Amino acid sequence: MEKTAKTKKEEKSNWAIGGTTMIGVGVGLIYLQTSVLIFVASIIIGVGAGLIVAPILSLFEKARS
């Protein structure tokens, strides 16, 4: 198995997507007793927010260098 070299930009994007997903899970667990659909929706919103934040982070990285 070969390991691929990842740049810092890719790692930050992965961290942003994973982090916002975990925030979505945390918020969803609060509302889990209320409705399962709110739990699923918060996870989807977390993933969506991460997908929005990831390109913004890459733009800031390009501007910095």
CB 45 within 8 A of CB 22: no
State the DSSP H helix or E strand holding residue 6, giving kind and residue range, or none if neither.
none
Six-digit token pair at 53? 């934040």
- Taken in order 34, 37, 43, 46, the sign of the CA dihedral is negative
- 57 Cβ neighbours under 8 A, 6+ residues apart: 9, 12, 13, 16
pLDDT at 10: 55
pTM of the model: 0.74
pLDDT in tens, 19-45: 999 999 999 999 999 999 999 999 999
Q: How far apart are CA 35 and CA 5, in angstroms?
A: 42
